[in-house]
Amino acid sequence: MDNTIETKITATSLLHQISGLSIDAALAELAARFPGKVTFSTSFSIEDQVIAHHILSAGLPVSIFTLDTGRLFAETYSVWSATNDKYGTHVQAYYPDRALLEAFVDQKGPNAFYASVADRKACCHIRKVEPLKRALQGQTIWVTGLRAEHSPERRDHQLIEWDEGNQLFKYNPILHWDTAQVRAYIDQHNVPYNPLHDKGFVSIGCAPCTRAIKAGEDFRAGRWWWEDNSKKECGLHAS
């Protein structure tokens, strides 16, 4: 039996294991099966704040980290601080490799991502993908705030799936939640969230690459708005 088939069977068995469980219970079950090897990546988006509340309010043994690209909004840092304060936690930060970033900026300039898709993806790789790989080393389950509603590409994701690039399983607990459900949960539990979400920002990333969306635009229109829609992923989440 090849590794691909084995992986699919294992992903199916994990899904069966948590089927019918609440998010808290599913996370607890996964953490019990893989102690010390379940981690959650947060960008402090409104989706990620839902999951952070589940983990932190229940005291679940799931580590939490964020990728600080060095180009985030001031509001994002405020949510980060408010989250640490509310839950008495310390979200671990991973930063870009200094040598890689310095060489890129020296060669291409600080705003090279506007010049071409290749340069933008190179910037994303240095600021996001490479630090992510370091953060995920030694982990078995990667918990994310992916939602299918965000883009056509993300509708291809599964609740639990094998991530070939990072060689672990990805658990997307609110994949099928809609925006109204997310908002209602945040309000009900008084969870800190980014005020940019109230100003038309749906998907919030680096400040130079994010804008509010206009009426009638899709969810990803505010990210890398100068590019064709088919290219709008940074490499963190590949189907």
pLDDT band at 230 (very low <50, low <70, confident <90, very high): low
Q: What is the pLDDT of residues 150-169, one digit of tens each?
A: 765 666 788 999 999 999 99
What phi and psi, each to the nearest 5 degrees, are found at residue 103? -65, -40
Neighbours of 7 (CB within 10 A): 16
209 has catalytic annotation: no
* Model confidence pLDDT, tens digit, residues 174-183: 999 999 999 9
- Name residues whose C-beta falls within 8 Å of residue 10's C-beta, 6 or more positions apart in sequence: 162, 169
Domains of the chain from N-terminus onward? 3-231 (3.40.50.620)
In terms of DSSP bridges, do strands 160-163 and 168-171 run parallel, antiparallel, or are they unpaired? antiparallel
Pick from 40, 46, 85: nearest CA to 66: 40
What is the spatial order of strands in the sheet that 38-41 belongs to? 92-94, 63-67, 38-41, 141-143, 168-171, 160-163
Per-residue model confidence (pLDDT) at position 226 = 83
Q: Against a cut of 0.85, is the pTM above it? A: yes
